[in-house]
């Protein structure tokens, strides 16, 4: 019965279904082979119990997180660098003679606290170095002290308020360049970019820094734009992303753009078009794997009741270069304590050969989008509730 229904579909429709089900070798299959493979996969999934992830106790997660950070710092030795006429005073990175701020690591790609832990008791020493400007910032404006303070503050949201649950962290590259492509939501504030960054810093075996690219609006706000840059963000421009990838870093992108960020609640988790494949082109040029990421929780933090074109016109009056067509209208000024889930999927290797071919770029872009959409659908079916 199932095979008969599938045989009525066109080859294009069957290939689209095979892509959503992640069936290998689908591009070279005949129509009959596609129908048989899809039917076999659907029957197999009918008998499988949906994998329900069990949240780990927050105290255990924090303990493992703290132990992992401590292993990178040797608290018994101090940095050899002199700041003015006084010693640096910070402990060194393990197996080096310098601290995090003065050459012990590359803060552009790694996210390690100066004392091997996060806490308000470390802020006075960090503020001393911030005021003395005793260290360098990178070409995109990353200030490791500001980034560490932001990490500490936002971790309260990550562990205690949103109680973020992470799966598939092993798919994030432990070294070299990589692009993390995720669905977008939030309406009022890009919490998903922050939680994606913290997920890699808090959960990955090696705490790598993810440089999230943001749209024009966020980079035009006088105070927020400077803080965003200092905390490790990047501008949504090819040059910024290329610099990060060229230096072996991780870039976080939201290919839906502003339209995905401003979706009303009625369209939550229905992915918009993933642009023209710019992030795929950059991945190909840098030979960087693309890791699709499904984020569940961002759409309900500030549920948008509708979108307004008039409000978007007002925004463009203040920020003429902003490309937003509609702005979401939401009611709650305080974010709802939604239980978040972030799932990292298997990496997709970038295309080789003629990376300028638009069909190749769109094909890989659609594969990334399809994987995320399929995973979001499964995660929503597994979810017991919002909170």
Strands (E), the chain: 73-78, 82-83, 86-87, 91-93, 165-167, 178-182, 210-214, 234-235, 250-253, 290-296, 304-308, 327-330, 341-344
Structure token pair of residue 137: 């910032």
Strand-pair partners of 50 = none
**CB burial string 126-158: b at 16+ within 10 A, e below:** bebbbeeebbebbebbbbbbbbbbbbbebbebb
Considering the domain boundaries, does residue 148 fall inside one? no
Q: Does pLDDT of 183 surpass 90?
A: yes
Considering the domain boundaries, does residue 236 fall inside one? yes
Statement to judge: residues 11 and 84 lie in one domain: no
Q: Does pLDDT of 180 surpass 90?
A: yes
Considering the domain boundaries, does residue 219 fall inside one? yes
- pLDDT tens digits, 317-352: 776 666 667 777 777 888 999 999 999 999 999 888
Rounded to an integer, the average pLDDT of 233-244 is: 90
Query: Domain holding 365: CATH number?
Result: 3.40.1130
Determine the Cα–Cα distance for residues 345 and 49; give it in Å rounded to an integer: 19
Considering the domain boundaries, does residue 143 fall inside one? no
Rounded to an integer, the average pLDDT of 288-295 is: 96
Instruction: Report the share of the chain in percent with pLDDT over 90.
Output: 53
Q: Does pLDDT of 143 surpass 90?
A: yes
Domain boundary among 106, 136, 166: 136
At 51 the pLDDT is 47
Residue 179: which domain range?
Answer: 157-382
Considering the domain boundaries, does residue 151 fall inside one? no
Considering the domain boundaries, does residue 378 fall inside one? yes
Q: Does pLDDT of 289 surpass 50?
A: yes
At 225 the pLDDT is 78
Considering the chain, what is the average pLDDT of its residues? 85
Which residue shows structure tokens 């008039």?
Answer: 310
Statement to judge: residues 196 and 338 lie in one domain: yes
Statement to judge: residues 161 and 102 lie in one domain: no
pTM: 0.81
More reliable by pLDDT, 121 or 277: 121
Determine the Cα–Cα distance for residues 236 and 253; give it in Å rounded to an integer: 9
At 264 the pLDDT is 79
Pairing mode, if any, of strands 86-87 and 91-93?
unpaired
Q: Does pLDDT of 255 surpass 80?
A: yes
Statement to judge: residues 371 and 260 lie in one domain: yes
Statement to judge: residues 245 and 344 lie in one domain: yes
* Cβ 202 vs Cβ 69: under 8 Å: no
Instruction: Provide the number of structural domains found in the chain.
Output: 3
Statement to judge: residues 11 and 99 lie in one domain: no
Statement to judge: residues 39 and 103 lie in one domain: no
More reliable by pLDDT, 27 or 96: 96
Whose CA is closest to 360, among 283, 300, 294, 307? 283
Statement to judge: residues 29 and 91 lie in one domain: no
Considering the domain boundaries, does residue 324 fall inside one? yes
- pLDDT tens digits, 3-55: 665 666 677 667 767 766 777 776 677 888 878 887 787 767 555 544 444 45
Provide CB contacts within 8 A for 218, sequence distance 6+.
Answer: 190, 224, 225, 228, 233
Considering the domain boundaries, does residue 52 fall inside one? no
Which residue shows structure tokens 């501008």?
Answer: 235
Statement to judge: residues 300 and 178 lie in one domain: yes
Statement to judge: residues 325 and 194 lie in one domain: yes
At 59 the pLDDT is 65
Statement to judge: residues 28 and 100 lie in one domain: no
Statement to judge: residues 208 and 307 lie in one domain: yes
């Amino acid at each position: 019965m199932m095979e008969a229904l599938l045989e009525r579909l066109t080859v294009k429709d069957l290939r689209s279904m095979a892509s959503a089900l992640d069936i290998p070798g689908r591009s070279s299959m005949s129509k009959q082979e596609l129908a048989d493979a899809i039917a076999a996969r659907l029957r197999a999934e009918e008998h499988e119990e949906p994998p329900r992830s069990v949240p780990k106790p927050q105290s255990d997660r924090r303990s493992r997180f703290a132990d992992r950070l401590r292993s990178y710092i040797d608290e018994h030795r101090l940095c050899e660098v002199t700041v003015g006429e006084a010693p640096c005073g910070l402990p060194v990175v393990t197996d080096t003679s310098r601290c995090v701020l003065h050459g012990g690591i590359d803060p552009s790609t790694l996210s390690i606290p100066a004392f091997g832990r996060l806490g308000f008791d470390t802020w006075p020493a960090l503020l001393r170095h911030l005021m003395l400007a005793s260290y360098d910032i990178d070409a995109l404006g990353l200030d490791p002290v500001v980034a560490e303070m932001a990490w500490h503050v936002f971790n309260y949201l990550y562990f205690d308020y949103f109680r973020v649950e992470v799966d598939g962290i092993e798919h994030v590259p432990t070294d070299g360049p990589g692009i993390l492509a995720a669905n977008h939501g939030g309406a009022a504030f890009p919490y998903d970019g922050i939680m994606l960054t913290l997920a890699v810093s808090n959960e990955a075996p090696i705490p790598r820094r993810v440089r999230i690219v943001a749209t024009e609006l966020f980079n035009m706000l006088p105070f927020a734009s400077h803080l965003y840059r200092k905390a490790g963000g990047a501008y949504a421009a090819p040059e910024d992303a290329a610099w990060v990838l060229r230096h072996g870093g991780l870039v976080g992108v939201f290919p839906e753009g502003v339209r995905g960020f401003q979706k009303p609640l009625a369209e939550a988790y229905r992915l918009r078009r993933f642009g023209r494949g710019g992030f795929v082109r950059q991945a190909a040029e840098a030979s960087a794997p693309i890791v699709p990421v499904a984020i569940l929780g961002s759409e309900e933090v500030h549920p948008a009741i509708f979108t307004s074109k008039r409000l978007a016109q007002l925004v463009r009056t203040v920020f003429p270069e902003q490309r937003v067509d509609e702005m979401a209208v939401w009611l709650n000024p305080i974010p709802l304590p939604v239980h978040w889930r972030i799932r990292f999927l298997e990496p997709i290797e970038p295309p080789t050969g003629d990376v300028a071919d638009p069909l190749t770029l769109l094909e890989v872009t659609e594969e990334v989008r399809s994987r995320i959409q399929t995973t979001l659908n499964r995660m929503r079916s597994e979810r017991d509730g919002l909170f």
